[in-house]
Amino acid sequence: MAKLENKIVFITGASEGIGKACAYAFAAEGANLILSARRKNLLDDIGENIEEKFGVKVLTLKLDVRNGDEVKASISNLPEQWAAVDILINNAGLAKGFEKMFKDDPENWDAMIDTNLKGLLYVTRQIVPGMVKRNSGHVISLGSTAGHMAYGNGSVYCATKFGVRAISDSLRIDLIDTDIRVSTVDPGMVETDFSNIRFFGDKERASKVYEGITPLSAEDIADTILYCATRPPHVSINEVIMTPVAQANSFVAFRK
**Model confidence pLDDT, tens digit, residues 224-248:** 999 999 999 999 999 999 999 999 9
Percent with pLDDT over 90 in the chain: 89
Domains and CATH numbers, the chain: 8-242 (3.40.50.720)
Q: Is 157 a catalytic residue?
A: yes
Beta-ladder partners of 151: none
Give residue 199's pLDDT band: very low, low, confident or very high (50, 70, 90). confident
Q: What ranges in 79-154 are assigned the alpha helix state H?
A: 106-112, 120-134
Quote the CA–CA distance of 103 and 34 in Å, as a whole number.
39
Alpha helix positions (H), 212-253: 218-229
CB neighbours of 76 closer than 8 A, spacing ≥ 6?
126
Q: Cβ(180)–Cβ(135) under 8 Å? A: yes
Closest CA relative to residue 198, chosen from 74, 80, 115, 76? 115
The catalytic residue among 151, 157, 210, 227 is 157
Determine which helix (DSSP H) or strand (DSSP E) holds 68, and give its type and residue range.
helix 68-76
- Mean pLDDT in residue range 177-193: 95
Sign of the alpha-carbon torsion through 95, 97, 103, 105:
negative
What pLDDT is recorded for position 133? 98
Q: List, for residues 51-85, the tens digit of each pLDDT value.
A: 999 999 999 999 999 999 999 999 999 999 999 99
Beta-bridged to residue 75, according to DSSP, are none
Residue 207: pLDDT band (50, 70, 90) is: confident
Residue 5 Cα distances to 22, 27, 31, 81, angstroms: 15, 9, 5, 15
User: Would you say residue 1 has pLDDT above 70?
Assistant: no
* pLDDT range class, residue 45, cuts 50, 70, 90: very high
User: What average pLDDT does the chain have?
Assistant: 95
pLDDT digits (tens, 9 = 90+) for 123-162: 999 999 999 999 999 999 999 999 999 999 999 999 999 9
Rounded CA gap, 194 and 212, in Å?
Answer: 18
Tell me, rounded to whole angstroms, the distance of Cα 96 from its chain centroid: 17
Three-class secondary structure of residue 20 per DSSP: helix
